[in-house]
Structure 1
């Protein structure tokens, strides 16, 4: 890639601004329905190509120091472009996979996802297609060789040029099953993926919790929830037996927390009005006194 002067860069950007300004002032009343659809398709193609120069800029900014940026790249990008930090992180990650790279000796290297980057450069795929392709590689086992990964990426990129993002996701799932039919994943691979993300608190005090849990923790949660009543269930009137638990709860590893002590784990049923809703005194000592 040839180096350009500052004057050339400014000239191209000014021409782009002027062209977009003219485009925004156009009236499309004279067009037919097929012509309007064709123009929408052209505009979509142009919009899909715009991230290409952004990838190069972001990768170059990634080499800047925190002193130069004033903060981390993610935070600075979010503030300067007025986007969320999550969006900034996603753009930085996209640039790392789709933008041009340099070797330690200064030689240019192709993008990590070369076929996907080429399809984006032609405007054939959008950011949602890219997200599905990148997500595929987060699920691909580490023991898949480089050649197979390259062929899989080229196949997904080719499919993305002719299908919707949701169809790409379905194809990626089928491809993953083909490449890894036994479905056995190592603990190390699960450890790289597991984690929880706590969302911001809503005005009502509620918070959204999302993430990935291990199979062992999932089994423990399902067992704990098996006897848990649905939300807003009516107050039952059945009699609650006293707890007969004589031995302590079994010990669990630190990686798999035990289910929260509740009426479902202490021998009490939600039918007891003395123990419902559950409280610390009831779940630890048994039924409340009348």
Structure 2
């Protein structure tokens, strides 16, 4: 039986914080206990936000934590053809369509619909796509694409669900409400998700399933904030004939106000803790690891 394969996949759009350290350590130590492999992946598709200094800091922080990983490291920006091939397969199945509304236009559509009695939202609280791009005539789509108009490539969720049928995943951790074991996937809760944009050639949903499959990842260990997203990942795995890893979603490290740590909220970075004299043993204690 081949060894289990774990991965840690940060984005170099900011410095790592305690939440990243917790997830990275969990993956590394799970791989070590199971005599498996530990991979590092750099999710650097968003060129506008990802910077070389953040990527360099990732390597430094993980080395300080005592982690080692296989090389070469997979950098998503070097594998755009893999994501393009997946999009081509989905398009050939008739499951993709471009939408052309701006964020402001989508917000106005949502506001109008909410005034008429509410509008559904996804598990993260964002409103589902309210536009009508799916029903645009093919000639009008082609005209807009040829004009160079910005667009987002969306998954036709209704058609995808019909094609994939019922889906489940194996959860060895737990969801936010304690869900564990065999979980029924409900990707329709996310609506017609974006899989790529004109300026960004893939999305997290698409690239994560492609990367995990190509790297042979068998165990996905990540925070509970991604538990509901697993439904979309299972849908894409099924449609694209990709292997299904086992999932383990862990508790989040939160701040004093109970909010999850994030780069956008300027959570204290590992580099700041390290420069302040914190030891790795103290950090492990801080996040509740032995």
Query: Could you say which structure has the higher helix fraction?
Result: 1
- So what's the TM-score if we normalise by structure 2? 0.23
Structure with higher RCO (Cα < 8 A, 6+ apart): 2
- Rg: which structure is higher? 1
Query: Could you say which structure has the higher strand fraction?
Result: 2
- So what's the TM-score if we normalise by structure 1? 0.23
